[in-house]
Structure 1
Amino acid sequence: MRKIYNSPFSSRYSSKEMRYIFSDDYKYQTWRKLWIVLAESQMELGLDVSLEQVEELKKEQFNINYQVVEKYEDIYCHDVIAHIMAYGLQCAKAKPIIHLGATSCFITDNTDIIIIKEGLILIRNQILKIISELSNFAKMYIKTPTLSYTHLKPAQLTTVGKRTTLWIYDLLIDLLEINDILSNLKLLGSKGTTGTQASFLALFDNDHNKVKRLDELITTKLGFKESVEVCGQTYSRKFDTKVMNALCNVAQSSAKFSNDIRFLHHLKEIEEPFKEKQIGSSAMPYKKNPIGSERICGLARFIISNNINFHLNFSSQWLERTLDDSSNRRLCIPQMFLALDTILDLYINIINGLKVNEDIILSNVLREMPYIIMENLIVNGTMDGGDRQELHKNMRDLSNSISNYDNININVKDYIVTNILKNFSLNITYEELSKKIKRPEDYIGRSVEQVEEFLENHVELLLSDAEKMMI
């Protein structure tokens, strides 16, 4: 194994659960399940398929003879045919009725839908877990004032908990999209070679009701409520774009979170987990790098750039289908899910181990407080009869004048307070103004209330109903 390429998704990244969903075993066992369901449904509808044949197929579903498959694929250059032949060697009695009336896409496309469904459920459950952990984190730091940033410059105060709700909100949007896809997921069903069900109509001697019933039975037996209403040979690749856009959106939300953590890590306000014996740099022993967040960003870029493949696949399909999407999808679908699975595992690990340095946060807040109070002073001055525009201009001039003293050791707090009292007609004393600068908790607006209302009215309700969302 060391002498051939090994995908990072098979070793370094992704969970065992997601790797199994996209494993050969799960894929080809699902192929055999489809052949079993097809034969069983045909038997129930009166075709010459025996219970003995169906039971033989079931007996060998999980016993895939891969070496035989490889031999046949080398001969026939067709993976579905190779598996039919290999399955037939194990099921001598059932061999004549395997794949009866079906086309390759009955196997491959229905399997893809089943795998996508399982992958989406795993992704959804990971998102729910992250939202739960972020909610706990938001509650813990709901009242902790911190600098907010616009244009990456200090702005009004927020709280650590309020900032956390922004990450939750993005994931809620993503979760609703994934839930919508899962709720409306449709199987390809048994639609025949070009979507007309002609082969099945011939099998059932032009009995349209039995053809429709076959489609319904297969759909129900495989755990779906509906199959697609119309199609060519495949289900519409438009569906792939919808699913992958949803995965891409989760990757974007995760990258936004991780970029925020990287910036806060730089400020030493919030740091991602760092193991006891972890090494940040082979050269610089003091380094503690936010490698988890950086990895999320890198994988998110991979997902976002990979997403274009699905738009190209759909737009490039000709008439009832072309095969140029097959090799592309074989690579891109698993990689999208495996990459996002890795991202969400990293997200969970980071949240569970975040280190919040409240002393550093407070120090950074207090350094900016002389500026932070200016907006409220403008509001108060205006309510006392002043001109809002004039007050804003004078506060702006005062703030800008401090840049002239960058190389001089001045006390910014005293400079601002003294000049405000000297040049502004505000009904406030030096002591009162100095006290305001020392009370950042008075400048967080409705941060606490917003967090409480958001968590109670939206997040906690969602988490309490999580079990109902399970399919």
Structure 2
Amino acid sequence: MSDNDKYSTPLSSRYASDEMSKIFSLRNRFSTWRKLWLTLAKAEKSVGLDVITDEALGQMEKHLEITDEEIEAAKKQEAIVRHDVMAHVHVFGETCPAAAGIIHLGATSCYVTDNADLIFLRDAFDVIIPKLVNVIDRLSKFALEYKDLPVLGWTHFQPAQLTTVGKRSTLWLQELLWDLRNIVRARNDLGLRGAKGTTGTQGSFLSLLHGDHDAVEALDAKIVELLGFDFAYPVTGQTYSRKIDIDVLAPLASLGATAHKMATDIRLLANLKEMEEPFEKSQIGSSAMAYKRNPMRSERVCSLSRHLGSLFSDAVQTASVQWFERTLDDSAIRRVSLPSAFLTADIVLTTLLNITSGLVVYPKVIERRIMAELPFMATENIIMAMVEKGASRQECHEEIRVLSHQASAVVKQQGGDNDLIERIKNTEYFKPIWADLDKLLDPSTFVGRAAQQTDKFVKKDVAEALKPFQKHINDATVSLSV
């Protein structure tokens, strides 16, 4: 059967980066198992197990990367023994005959499956963190570029007080900073399961080492050292606690929420024609409507972010139903949800990298929308200016209320432009402030401290958060493809 006749997840076949797909590939999984068996053998030799020979270690070292032929051989063996780990023990032993008798010595299957998963999770975090850092960096540059450009604010998607384009983007930035904090924390909190035996008691290793408790602890510590982790979980059942998966997927789900909100805002702004994601010269927006410039990247972010959020419940439910030292109903779902979460997060971030590298702003459209709403927003300023000229606030309020309702009727009932300012200019009562109207309607006076907030936030908070990641910023190895 051709690969074209088989279903393959679009997460890997269509969207995800090569580096993320490789982490969760079969070759990497089984090669990592071999690395773990070699590590166990080295650690056992280091604490005095003479049955581990240099010849055995040498053969294992030489064949760490599994070949296509060996993968196929393991598939055939698994069909016979109905056990994936033992199938690979058998094939690795055939490849390394000097090590055949000591591969997996004292270990349970979760020694390789769980420790491998923890390695994959750590490595997957190391792929997405640089991408998130670059999204933050590019968006922070955008925020500074447009920190002074006034734009109509929206509450309930109804016109509200003005803000600036840059200040609005800091709302996205702040949430991305929280995501970075949470993801880095989850990554650094990862430990190894280590060598804990079938129910977590290390009983098999205690027997191998003739009751030497210190040697068993040294064995565990050596495995941690050789695999480059900081620690192993002090106690486990047969598996590491599936609560760890909750801690891993929670920040990814939260990132999905941030990305969805940001991409939704961009989609709405595209409809308003105020801002758009990049649109390539030869890109087709619609197969039927040639004029369309659909926000397909932002739509992809929203689509996959929903999926990312939904995967979190897999971890919560799985952790809650683990019986005693272990049960196997966690296995199949984790093979789906853990890779899917990281592949999806990778795609979302790669797409956001593309979007933030080329956001397009249309100041003239923004200005026109501001001027359509600003006269209503300026009424309080007009009233105060009239009072300074000696008018009664109550009388002025009534005068401008009548004119505002008339202008509103033109907009809503006749589909015309907001002509409130023209009405004020043609009403003798307001003659004392006619000369001041342009100043009173300057949009930059309606944005409060938006520019100052943006400048301080980017130069202080964002800069501080990105300081440990400077080597990743603009790294050529960070994929931009979408």
Matching of residue 462 in structure 1 with residue 465 in structure 2: yes
Matching of residue 431 in structure 1 with residue 442 in structure 2: no
Could you say which residue in structure 2 is the equivalent of 1:131? 136
CA deviations over 1:78-128 (Å, ceiling 9, x no partner): 110010000000011101000001000010000000000111111111110
**Percent of pairs with identical residues:** 41
State the distance in 2 between where 1:268 and 1:286 align: 14
1:12 to 10, 14, 17: 14
State the distance in 1 between where 2:206 and 2:382 align: 80
State the distance in 2 between where 1:165 and 1:367 align: 25
What amino acid is the match of 2:314? N
State the distance in 1 between where 2:395 and 2:170 align: 36
Deviates more, 1:215-224 or 1:179-188: 179-188
1:100–1:132 Cα change, 3 Å: same
State the distance in 2 between where 1:231 and 1:387 align: 78
Could you say which residue in structure 2 is the equivalent of 1:368? 373
Equivalence map 1:130-149=2 (5 Å): 130-149=135-154
Matching of residue 414 in structure 1 with residue 421 in structure 2: yes
What amino acid is the match of 1:431? A
Equivalence map 1:17-416=2 (5 Å): 17-47=19-49, 48-64=51-67, 65-374=70-379, 376=381, 399=404, 402-405=407-410, 406-408=412-414, 409=416, 412-414=419-421
Q: What is the DSSP-based 3-state SS (H/G/I as helix, E as strand, rest coil) of the residue aligned with 1:2?
A: helix
Q: What is the DSSP-based 3-state SS (H/G/I as helix, E as strand, rest coil) of the residue aligned with 2:228?
A: coil
Q: What is the DSSP-based 3-state SS (H/G/I as helix, E as strand, rest coil) of the residue aligned with 1:147?
A: strand
Q: Does the 8 Å contact 1:35/1:98 carry over to 2?
A: yes
Could you say which residue in structure 1 is the equivalent of 2:476? none
1:34–1:434 Cα change, 3 Å: same
Shift of 1:71: 1.0
CA deviations over 1:197-256 (Å, ceiling 9, x no partner): 111111111110011111111011111111101111111111101111110011111111
Q: Does the 8 Å contact 2:144/2:166 carry over to 1?
A: yes
State the distance in 2 between where 1:386 and 1:57 align: 93
1:100–1:298 Cα change, 3 Å: same
State the distance in 2 between where 1:90 and 1:132 align: 48
Shift of 1:372: 2.5
What amino acid is the match of 2:116? T
Q: Does the 8 Å contact 2:382/2:440 carry over to 1?
A: no
Could you say which residue in structure 1 is the equivalent of 2:479? none
1:469–1:276 Cα change, 3 Å: closer
State the distance in 1 between where 2:319 and 2:39 align: 29
Shift of 1:413: 2.9
State the distance in 2 between where 1:332 and 1:231 align: 22
CA deviations over 1:278-330 (Å, ceiling 9, x no partner): 11111111111000000110101111122211111011111111100100010
Q: Does the 8 Å contact 2:12/2:343 carry over to 1?
A: no
Could you say which residue in structure 1 is the equivalent of 2:4? 2
State the distance in 1 between where 2:392 and 2:24 align: 66
Shift of 1:361: 1.2
State the distance in 2 between where 1:403 and 1:196 align: 77
What is the aligned residue count? 466
CA deviations over 1:254-281 (Å, ceiling 9, x no partner): 1111001001100111111111121111
State the distance in 1 between where 2:457 and 2:436 align: 34
1:459–1:378 Cα change, 3 Å: farther
CA deviations over 1:12-54 (Å, ceiling 9, x no partner): 1111111111111111111111000000000011002112211
Q: Does the 8 Å contact 1:157/1:372 carry over to 2?
A: no
Shift of 1:434: 3.8
1:410–1:198 Cα change, 3 Å: closer
State the distance in 2 between where 1:112 and 1:34 align: 11
Listed as ranges, the gaps of 5+ residues in structure 2 are 474-482
Q: Does the 8 Å contact 1:421/1:430 carry over to 2?
A: no
Q: Does the 8 Å contact 1:56/1:94 carry over to 2?
A: yes
Q: Does the 8 Å contact 2:408/2:418 carry over to 1?
A: no
1:32–1:205 Cα change, 3 Å: same
Q: What is the DSSP-based 3-state SS (H/G/I as helix, E as strand, rest coil) of the residue aligned with 1:29?
A: helix
1:208–1:358 Cα change, 3 Å: same
1:305–1:421 Cα change, 3 Å: farther
Deviates more, 1:16-25 or 1:32-41: 16-25
State the distance in 2 between where 1:216 and 1:173 align: 33
CA deviations over 1:113-145 (Å, ceiling 9, x no partner): 000011111111111000010011111111111
- Stretches (4+) displaced over 6 A: 378-398
What amino acid is the match of 2:9? S
What amino acid is the match of 1:289? N
1:396–1:91 Cα change, 3 Å: farther
Deviates more, 1:56-65 or 1:234-243: 56-65
